[in-house]
Amino acid sequence: LIESLNQKPQSAGDQPQPTEATQATHRKAGGAGTPSANGEAGGGESTKGYTAEQVAAVKRVKQCKDYYEILGVSRGASDEDLKKAYRRLALKFHPDKNRTPGATEAFKAIGTAYAVLSNPEKRKQYDQFGDDKSQAARHGHGHGDFHRGFEADISPEDLFNMFFGGGFPSSNVHVYSNGRMRYTYHQRQDRRENQGDGGLGVFVQLMPILILILVSALSQLMVSSPPYSLSLRPSVGHVHRRVTDHLNVVYYVADTFSEEYTGSSLKMVERNVEDDYIANLRNNCWKEKQQKEGLLYRARYFGDADMYHKAQKMSTPSCNRLSETMKSLENLW
């Protein structure tokens, strides 16, 4: 239709008769007498055809190579610049106002571009990989693919409603009612109505954590602390020094220890003391060996003779005490 309008006017004798396809095209483009979705005859700009300027604008968006070019901003654009560009383009390409073929896809591309660039993390990823992804998208899907390999967290319709107060500022919003906008609106209404139950939902989600905390607290209360310690601990009352009968291991107890533990119970405590003492010696011996081996390895790696001799001379007192203790145990057995 645009091409036919741009051609020179023909004379009345040479002008061909309109075909059925041409009449159908004119009827489709000129919607002045076409009733809207509510049965009323549409009027004003929204029911007219599209202009050459609108066609050129849609074509420009289709030819854009990245999101910055779609919004018409530079790569260093601020959040305010992105918002201004989105407001201007969203109003210009919204299907309620722009009936140009491809305007809906352009509107979605504008929304996707803003949703990605307004997200700092997505924008950072897009700045690093956007060009490569856009090339792959164009090779795989042609020029009509506006997603460029990045997905927005919100649909273009919902994004538009957030900017313009829940709907397009015109009298015939129903023209773009494709079912999705109404569905999302009712979803938001349901979410508002169910906000009162948010406290119960949070409590149910936190229930497993609360149970774990409660069980941990009860276990700490039920398990009593040992009546001894291998070192002096005034904070818990272990200040009285004692020595085991078999291995002569030094340990510390509280004031009431002699009254509570006698006979077999005392032997059981001293056996536990000696077991803990041996376990500590083994742990400390392993650490000393690891330290010595690490120093030897570094000396060999760097070719440091002084460090190598120092590592060889490094003592392992815990290992020596462990060896003596095990010999004493063998003698007792």
* Confidence (pLDDT) at 32: 42
* Confidence (pLDDT) at 135: 47
| pLDDT at residue 300 is higher than 60 | yes
Taking residues 139-164, what's their average pLDDT?
Answer: 58
CA distance 141 to 134: 10
| pLDDT at residue 273 is higher than 90 | yes
Mean of the per-residue pLDDT values of the chain: 75
* Strands, sheet with 240-243, edge to edge from the N-terminal-most edge strand: 228-229, 250-253, 240-243
CA 206 to chain centre: 21
Kindly write down the DSSP assignment for every residue of 218-284, as one continuous string.
HHHHHSPPPSEESS-BGGGTB-EEEE-TTT--EEEE-TTHHHH--THHHHHHHHHHHHHHHHHHHHH
| Helix-helix angle 156-163:103-117, to 10 degrees | 70
Among 31, 44, 32, 46, which residue's Cα sits nearest to residue 174? 46
Least confident of 6-20, 34-48, 274-288: 34-48
| pLDDT at residue 56 is higher than 70 | yes
**Domains along the chain?**
2-29+48-168 (1.10.287.110), 228-332 (no CATH)
Among 51, 53, 54, 57, which residue's Cα sits nearest to residue 70? 57
Confidence of residue 65 (pLDDT cuts 50, 70, 90): confident
Tens of pLDDT, residue by residue over 94-104, are: 888 788 888 88
Among 287, 257, 285, 288, which residue's Cα sits nearest to residue 273? 257
* Confidence (pLDDT) at 224: 66
* Confidence (pLDDT) at 48: 52
Among 160, 63, 55, which residue's Cα sits nearest to residue 102? 55
- Tokens matching residue 217: 């607290």
| pLDDT at residue 231 is higher than 60 | yes
Question: pTM value?
Answer: 0.36
Tens of pLDDT, residue by residue over 172-204, are: 333 333 334 343 444 444 555 555 556 777 888
Please name the residue ranges forming H helices in 37-78: 52-62, 67-71
| pLDDT at residue 90 is higher than 90 | no
- Tokens matching residue 19: 């075909």
